[in-house]
Amino acid sequence: MTTSRRETAMSETNHAAGAPSAPADRTITSPSVRASAAVRTYRYLRLSLVGLVLLLLLAVWLERLTGEAANRRLGSISAYYYTPARSVFVGALVAIGISLVAIVGRRGFEDTALNIAGMLAPVVAFVPTPRGAGGAPCDPDGRCSVPPEFVPAVVNNIKSLIALGVAGVALGAYVVLRRRESSRATRIGLALAAGLFVAFVAWFGLARDSFLDVAHFGAAVPLFALVTGVAYVNARKARARRDHGVNATGAKTYTAVYGVVAGVMTMTFAVAIVLAVMDQLGWGGTPDEWVLWVEVVLLLSFATFWVTQTFDFWADGLPEDASVTPAPAATAAAGPGRPATGRGPGPGGDVTPAPRP
């Protein structure tokens, strides 16, 4: 029997036995290689998120340094929507939102917070801050709101976002409810995200003027608050690893960085609330451009946190208790009581399975 006939016979035997056959033009890689590729992809996604934050800050700062005189002293990053920095502002925030939804956090608050923050980021991008806020000049007739010429774009973008949101929530519900292993925290997170989405749609449809005036701030403030909460959770988890002697040297470093980032973001929020109240009451005495500097501090803190967490979970790509369900094959390969990923990278960047506490 020739080689080709032997291969044909073996293929027919495997097919008859129910064994899956691979396409001739497809290379089958080992699970370890696939895992390594997945982890590297995850790293690049996380680092790209940091790059998007820096891109946004660079676009704003270039406009402040080289743009028209009227654009050099705007009091907030959001006010640069009305400048040549608009394309980067919108594009970066949309990409950041998608990335936050795609990245998996720990079960419970962290994963839910990242998903909701990801839902809010495009709203911050699509609904501009009203004229008059952050130093953006009001219209010649004195109106300090979203200019009428921008409203059709806002409506179009938000309707598109709602259509995508319906599909996203439906898909999330299908996956979570179909999967028996879904935790109670995951189901609560889905219900919370769906409820907020319904409220958002109702606000847009029933109170359009209020939506145009407030939606930008109504999305930006909780977006930063949720990221601050995620930083706090990571500080607490790193402290627990340190106290239990897990990777003691690295845990001390990560505990310190997470703690500083969470502290800076919390203090910045507190200062921003005080200054906002002073402005609303007309007390005066608030620094010029204070909103801009609050946003800069929060964005840089966010980037610092994201870089730190990326290196903290460099080998695995995910936190130790991420909101995922391991595949049965991966669990079996790792052995009873042992997850399929470890902390140490193997040769060539492959992930070497290792027990985790």
**Domain-by-domain residue ranges, the chain?**
32-137+152-315
Q: Which two tokens stand for residue 117?
A: 């923050």
Provide the pLDDT for residue 132: 63
CA–CA separation, 300 and 292 (whole Å): 12
pLDDT computed for residue 343 by the predictor? 39
**pLDDT value of residue 198:** 95
What is the structure's pLDDT at 47? Answer: 92
Residue 183 has what pLDDT? 75
pLDDT of 351 reads 40
pTM, to two decimals = 0.77
Condensed to tens digits (0 to 9), the pLDDT of residues 201-222 reads 999 999 999 999 999 999 999 9
153: left (phi over 0), alpha (psi -120 to 50) or beta: alpha
Q: Report d(CA 281, CA 120) in Å as an integer.
A: 28
- Closest residue by Cα to residue 258 from 143, 51, 110: 110
How far is residue 303's CA from residue 315's CA, in Å, rounded to a whole number? 20
Q: Could you say which residues of the chain have pLDDT below 70?
A: 1-30, 132-144, 181, 242-250, 318, 320-357
Contact 60, 296 (CB under 8 A): no
**183, burial (CB in 10 Å: exposed 0-12, middle 13-18, buried 19+):** middle
Amino acid present at 182: S
Instruction: Residue 145: name the closest of 94, 280, 154 by CA.
Output: 154
CA atoms lying within 13 Å on the CB side of residue 16: 6
